[in-house]
């Protein structure tokens, strides 16, 4: 599995070349490390913000963002080390148990993240069209996120038996074969099962959520332009832009990888193409490098999402600033002061930072007429 997608039986050593350091391998490892670090730290701060400020941030959109951040953390923790081990040719560190655990969690969180974006699209539509503000509550959002997690984990239970560690490619792959059947029927069944798996995986983790989001956006756009376009507050516009940015980032980062994965599978069903790759190692290396760079790009949206939270949400942005500027603990200590002392301290700070003369017209009037010229 590339993630959990199988590879053809072509010698992976052909990609490396015989002489000189593998620049592509080092570059991929560095990029994967940066993506993993930013994803885990950034989404961890976002999730921690919701947990610490649970009373102030009881907003349905923020709760769904918390579920999305948790899914991104799990994917980063599972997939980034897996990809780094493969690039560093340390696939022997993986075990059969690791691959089964990885197959269930990785696949589940791919679907969870995609359908959390669908829920955010629905909440955006409610935000922009429900003028009475009687939409879903925080409890509804929490229940929806829990249902997505449980349903996805249950749906991926079959991955426990299908995920194995391939000693040849040193990757976690998916096998759907039945050892009791003859070789010809075994190969045909394995190929058709893998094809169904790839199509269903791409549909539920990418294409179907985008279709649902597109339908929701079309309906929301029609309703908002006809009835509500002039009544949006600044906060509603900001939340709408944040959700749209999350969806566009997801679509752009994942599209090349999903397309090339399906194209690769159907190309490898062509025996002539397989023969060409065996005979032309340069073409094979180009294919492999393109696939792996696009798969890295598909994980890039996990690192971009925390940046979107920090720049487009005032609440998240304040907490990110506190953490980055190392003032989080200091602000917490100040918040523990009694309200009267804290209010008095704010008044003193305001006086200290307020200029004595803010109106230039008053400065001329305040100057006495009999002031000696030497002081000017």
d(CA 297, CA 368): 69
Residue 213 belongs to some domain of the structure:
yes
Asked whether residue 186 carries a pLDDT value surpassing 60, the answer given is: no
> How would residue 133 be classed by pLDDT, with cut points 50, 70 and 90?
low
Residue 370 belongs to some domain of the structure:
no
d(CA 103, CA 1): 8
Query: Can you tell me the mean pLDDT for 33-61?
Result: 85
How many CB atoms are located within 10 Å of the residue 148 CB?
23
The reported pTM is 0.77
Determine the distance from the C-alpha atom of residue 239 to the mean position of all C-alpha atoms in its chain, rounded to a whole number. Answer: 17
Query: Can you tell me the mean pLDDT for 214-222?
Result: 89
φ/ψ bin of 6: left (φ > 0), alpha (ψ from -120 to 50), beta (otherwise): beta
Residue 338 belongs to some domain of the structure:
no
How many CB atoms are located within 10 Å of the residue 192 CB?
11
Q: What is the CATH number of the domain that holds 156?
A: 1.20.1070.10
Residue 52 belongs to some domain of the structure:
yes
pLDDT in tens, 224-255: 776 666 666 777 888 889 999 999 999 999 99
Residue 336 belongs to some domain of the structure:
no
Residue 319 belongs to some domain of the structure:
no
Most confidently modeled range among 146-150, 176-180, 233-237, 333-337? 146-150
Q: Residue 117: which domain range?
A: 20-312
Q: Are 110 and 207 in contact (CB under 8 A)?
A: no
pLDDT in tens, 296-338: 999 999 999 999 998 888 878 877 777 777 665 555 444 444 5
Asked whether residue 98 carries a pLDDT value surpassing 90, the answer given is: no
Residue 342 belongs to some domain of the structure:
no
**What is the domain count for the chain?**
1
> How would residue 19 be classed by pLDDT, with cut points 50, 70 and 90?
very low
d(CA 282, CA 16): 11
Asked whether residue 131 carries a pLDDT value surpassing 90, the answer given is: no
Residue 131 belongs to some domain of the structure:
yes
């Amino acid at each position: 599995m590339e993630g959990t997608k199988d590879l053809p039986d072509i010698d992976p050593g052909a990609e490396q070349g015989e002489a000189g350091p593998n620049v592509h391998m080092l570059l991929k490892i560095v990029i994967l490390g940066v993506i993993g670090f930013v994803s885990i730290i950034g989404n961890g701060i976002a999730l921690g913000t919701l947990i610490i400020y649970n009373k102030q941030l009881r907003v349905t959109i923020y709760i769904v963002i918390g579920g999305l951040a948790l899914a991104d953390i799990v994917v980063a923790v599972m997939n980034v080390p897996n990809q780094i081990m493969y690039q560093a040719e340390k696939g022997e560190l993986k075990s059969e148990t690791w691959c089964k655990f990885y197959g269930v969690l990785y696949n589940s969180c791919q679907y969870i993240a995609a359908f959390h974006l669908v829920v955010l699209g629905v909440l955006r539509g409610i935000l922009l069209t429900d003028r009475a503000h009687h939409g879903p509550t925080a409890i509804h959002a929490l229940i929806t996120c829990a249902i997505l997690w449980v349903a996805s984990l249950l749906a991926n239970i079959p991955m426990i038996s299908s995920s194995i560690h391939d000693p040849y490619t040193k990757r976690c792959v998916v096998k759907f074969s039945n050892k009791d059947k003859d070789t010809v029927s075994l190969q045909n069944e394995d190929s058709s099962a893998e094809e169904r798996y790839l199509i269903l995986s791409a549909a539920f983790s990418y294409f179907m959520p985008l279709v649902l989001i597109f339908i929701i956006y079309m309906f929301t756009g029609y309703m908002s332009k006809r009835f509500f376009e002039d009544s949006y507050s600044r906060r509603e516009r900001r939340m709408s832009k944040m959700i749209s940015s999350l969806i566009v980032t997801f679509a752009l980062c994942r599209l090349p990888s999903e397309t090339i994965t399906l194209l690769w599978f159907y190309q490898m069903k062509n025996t002539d193409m397989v023969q060409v790759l065996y005979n032309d190692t340069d073409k094979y290396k180009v294919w492999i490098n393109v696939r792996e760079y696009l798969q890295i790009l598909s994980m890039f949206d996990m690192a971009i999402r925390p940046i979107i939270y920090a720049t487009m949400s005032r609440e998240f942005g304040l907490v990110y600033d506190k953490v980055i500027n190392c003032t989080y603990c200091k602000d917490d200590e100040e918040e523990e002061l009694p309200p009267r002392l804290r209010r008095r301290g704010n008044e003193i700070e305001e006086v200290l930072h307020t200029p004595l003369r803010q109106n230039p017209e008053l400065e001329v009037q305040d100057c006495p007429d009999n002031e000696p010229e030497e002081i000017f």
